[in-house]
Amino acid sequence: MKVLVINCGSSSLKYQLIDMETEKSLVSGLVERIGIDGSILTQKVEGKDKYIIKQDMKDHKEAIKLVLEALLNKEHAVIESMDEITAVGHRVVHGGEKYSDSVLIDDEVIELIKDCIPLAPLHNPPNIIGIEACKELMPNTPMAAVFDTAFHQTMPKVAYICPLPYELYEKYGIRRYGFHGTSHKYVSQKVAEVMNRDIKDLKIITCHLGNGCSLAAVKGGKSIDTSMGFTPLAGVMMGTRSGNIDPSVIAFLVEQQGYKLEEVNEMLNKKSGLLGISGVSSDFRDVQMAAEQGNERAKLALDIFNYKIRAQIASYAGIMGGVDVIVFTAGIGENSSFARKEVLKGLEFLGFNIDEEKNEVRGEVQEISTKDSKVKVYEIPTNEELVIARDTVKLLNK
């Protein structure tokens, strides 16, 4: 059985075809600049040259058409006919309060995803476009929606209700939802498996540190708190996002300094975080390089980044009444021994020490705490696509 996993962004589309017998990715690809001049599709198959198609694609439907052509292309083929694609799994960012798990897509589900657009105006529309394009091009292939918010629907009210007038929750659904759920779910389950422990007995803190960053407190396999909130702007500092700040800053900039609300919104989402403080880049590697060359603001950006994450880890150990394992994942979490080491500095009182040599390993499942550590620390490469494909198969077999 082969499942096509689709992740549509506003002008991009990532895809993977996964063989569910082996759970191996047969092909992965990226379409960029959809609807913009210079659209490009890049497809990778293990052991073969990259397959690149440069051809303008005016919308996601054209992009998906080209993806299907690329999958069937004579020279680069991984499948011989479309019938080999048993199902399609779509990443959908926001499922609101309605979805605490993945669902098979029908017209009602599409309507409900549309209802969540006000909660995720940048993310849900391209997700829906991707679903509708696939529906048109592959009308007989079942599809599933896997939500970024779903894993966090187990959070208790004490974690998700904002200290605002309660009517705002009742009227508008203003509450904390949390994101990156597919990744937090995958790495928490994976670490339990690697440790050969029942996840029900574990208190896990998962740190998804990439361009977007979020942490989750996973107790007994369930997310009981996470750092992102009503939107993915909340929580710890990120590449270009501020994370939590005093909300009065917004009123101050608008009322006292003449900024437009859209400008402040753009600033908080796209010009803050590592980029905003360093003035160098939103990319962790660039900022680290600048810091090593003596750039003081780059150094400050890294210090604040690490400090916010350290504080969040300590807080989650507090609310769970301890921690058994801390997991690092995503671009920075999987690859940067420097970030892991700096984030964890001062937290050794929780009951771990870092094995410096093991911490140098990059992008692999790896315990990085010393053997005698009571609390374990791991790096686990995330695999959101595999969770999407697994959930899709689970729904098909129901």
**Of residues 204 and 275, the one with the C-beta less far from ligand AMP:** 275
Residue 210 sits in the site that holds ligand AMP (CB under 6 A): yes
**Of residues 131 and 290, the one with the C-beta less far from ligand AMP:** 290
Return the C-alpha torsion angle 375, 379, 385, 389, nearest 10: -40
Residue 211 sits in the site that holds ligand AMP (CB under 6 A): yes
Segment holding 206, helix H or strand E: strand 203-209
**Of residues 143 and 377, the one with the C-beta less far from ligand AMP:** 377
Q: Which of 336, 369, 383, 392 binds ligand AMP (CB under 6 A)?
A: 336
Pick out the residues of the known binding site for ATP.
14, 208-212, 283-285, 331-335
For 217-251, the DSSP string reads: EEETTEEEEES--SSTTSSS--SS---S--THHHH
Pick out the residues of the known binding site for Mg(2+).
7, 384
CA distance from start to end of the chain:
15
**Of residues 242 and 335, the one with the C-beta less far from ligand AMP:** 335
Q: Which of 283, 295, 299, 341 binds ligand AMP (CB under 6 A)?
A: 283
Of 126-134, 217-225, 326-334, 341-349, which part binds ligand AMP (CB under 6 A)?
Answer: 326-334
Residue 178 sits in the site that holds ligand AMP (CB under 6 A): no
Reference 64, options 103, 6, 108, 125; nearest CA is 6
Residue 330 sits in the site that holds ligand AMP (CB under 6 A): yes
**Of residues 128 and 301, the one with the C-beta less far from ligand AMP:** 301
Distances (CA, A) of 393 to 102, 365, 382: 11, 25, 19
**Of residues 337 and 373, the one with the C-beta less far from ligand AMP:** 337
Distances (CA, A) of 44 to 14, 21, 73: 12, 20, 13
Count of residues in contact with ligand AMP, rule CB under 6 A: 11
- Please state, in angstroms and rounded to a whole number, the distance separating the CA atoms of residues 45 and 153: 36
Q: Which of 239, 273, 276, 381 binds ligand AMP (CB under 6 A)?
A: 239
Residue 42 sits in the site that holds ligand AMP (CB under 6 A): no
For 98-162, the DSSP string reads: T-SS-EE--HHHHHHHHHTGGGSTTTHHHHHHHHHHHHHHSTTS-EEEEETTGGGGG--HHHHS-
Residue that is written with structure tokens 């369930």 in the block: 222
The CB-of-130 to ligand AMP minimum distance in angstroms stands at 20
- Please state, in angstroms and rounded to a whole number, the distance separating the CA atoms of residues 204 and 345: 18
Is 148 assigned a catalytic role?
yes
Residue 331 sits in the site that holds ligand AMP (CB under 6 A): yes
- Please state, in angstroms and rounded to a whole number, the distance separating the CA atoms of residues 62 and 317: 48
- Please state, in angstroms and rounded to a whole number, the distance separating the CA atoms of residues 71 and 201: 43
Give φ, ψ of 78 to 5 degrees.
Answer: -115, -15
Q: Which of 332, 368, 393, 395 binds ligand AMP (CB under 6 A)?
A: 332
Site for ligand AMP in 368-397 (CB under 6 A): none
Of 98-106, 128-136, 282-290, 304-312, which part binds ligand AMP (CB under 6 A)?
Answer: 282-290
**How far is C-alpha 86 from the geometric centre of its chain's CA atoms?**
25
Which of 148, 225, 324, 391 does the annotation list as catalytic?
148
Residue 335 sits in the site that holds ligand AMP (CB under 6 A): yes
Q: Which residues bind to ligand AMP, rule: CB under 6 A?
A: 210-211, 239, 283-285, 330-332, 335-336
Q: Which sequence positions are flagged as catalytic?
A: 148
